[in-house]
């Protein structure tokens, strides 16, 4: 008989356990990926009708490059929404955008730096720029603020924040449906 409580199919683990940390990091990665996928998809469904049909191989190639550039970064996503969807669609004007951006940077640290802010993030001083937002979301920062720990409270707050962001964006885009 196991002494660990079980909820559904997952055992409840102590917050400090490696498996628990791995689960929290996986949830963060998945949650931010869902947001990025949704935002990119919403742009693509609005851009695709702008390319002439039927598309020759050349036009299809050019459109593919155009789409790739528009979805390559949050800066480009924001620019493309403003320029090609509508000037009022600014995806980074959400009131808690700095917290959303901090969650994105935390995810990048987990994925690309195994929990450490990458050299690129540190060169851009992103670990310091996002420090207060990460702390507000209840992430722990250690090692001169270069390591991010995904706490249970951080997951709870971040998932709620990202859901609210998606609802806000979805509402904003309802007035700018695909052509």
Query: First CA to last CA across the chain, in angstroms?
Result: 59
Which residue do the tokens 């669609």 mark? 89
Q: What pLDDT, on the 0 to 100 scale, is given for residue 4?
A: 52
Q: What pLDDT, on the 0 to 100 scale, is given for residue 7?
A: 57
Q: What pLDDT, on the 0 to 100 scale, is given for residue 8?
A: 64
Query: What percent of the chain clears pLDDT 90, i.e. is strictly above it?
Result: 79
The C-alpha atoms of residue 52 and residue 179 are separated, in whole angstroms, by 13
Q: Which residues have a Cβ under 8 Å from the Cβ of 5 and sit 6 or more positions away?
A: 11, 12
Could you tell me which residue, 154 or 8, shows the higher pLDDT?
A: 154
Could you tell me which residue, 2 or 147, shows the higher pLDDT?
A: 147
At 5-63, the pLDDT tens digits run 545 666 777 878 889 999 999 999 999 999 999 999 999 999 998 888 888 999 999 99
pLDDT value at 116 more than 90: yes
Residue 126, CA atoms < 13 Å, CB-side half-sphere: 22
Answer whether 162's CB lies under 8 Å from 31's CB: yes
Q: How confident is the model at residue 138 (pLDDT cuts 50, 70, 90)?
A: very high
pLDDT value at 1 more than 50: no
158: which 2 tokens?
């971040």
CA 91, chain centre distance (Å):
12
How much is the average pLDDT of 101-126? 97
Q: What pLDDT, on the 0 to 100 scale, is given for residue 140?
A: 96
DSSP state of 84: I
Answer whether 89's CB lies under 8 Å from 172's CB: yes
Provide long-range contacts, Cβ within 8 A and 24+ apart, for 2-6.
none
67: which 2 tokens?
């789409």
Instruction: Find the angle CA(161)-CA(47)-CA(102) to the nearest 5 degrees.
Output: 25
Q: What pLDDT, on the 0 to 100 scale, is given for residue 169?
A: 96
């Amino acid at each position: 008989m196991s002494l660990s409580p079980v909820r559904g199919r997952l055992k409840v683990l102590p917050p400090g356990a490696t498996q628990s940390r791995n689960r929290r990091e996986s949830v963060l990665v998945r949650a931010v990926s869902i947001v990025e996928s949704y935002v990119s998809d919403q742009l693509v469904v609005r851009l695709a009708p702008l390319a002439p049909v039927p598309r020759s191989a050349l036009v299809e190639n050019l459109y593919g490059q155009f789409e790739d550039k528009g979805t390559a970064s949050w800066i480009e996503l924001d620019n493309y929404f403003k320029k090609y969807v509508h000037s009022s669609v600014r995806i980074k004007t959400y009131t808690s955008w700095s917290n959303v951006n901090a969650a994105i940077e935390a995810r990048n640290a987990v994925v690309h730096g195994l929990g450490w802010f990458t050299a690129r993030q540190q060169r851009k001083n992103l670990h310091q720029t996002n420090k207060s937002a990460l702390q507000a979301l209840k992430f722990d920062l250690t090692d001169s603020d270069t390591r991010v720990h995904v706490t249970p409270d951080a997951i709870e707050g971040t998932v709620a924040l990202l859901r609210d962001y998606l609802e806000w964006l979805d509402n904003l885009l309802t007035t700018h449906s695909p052509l």
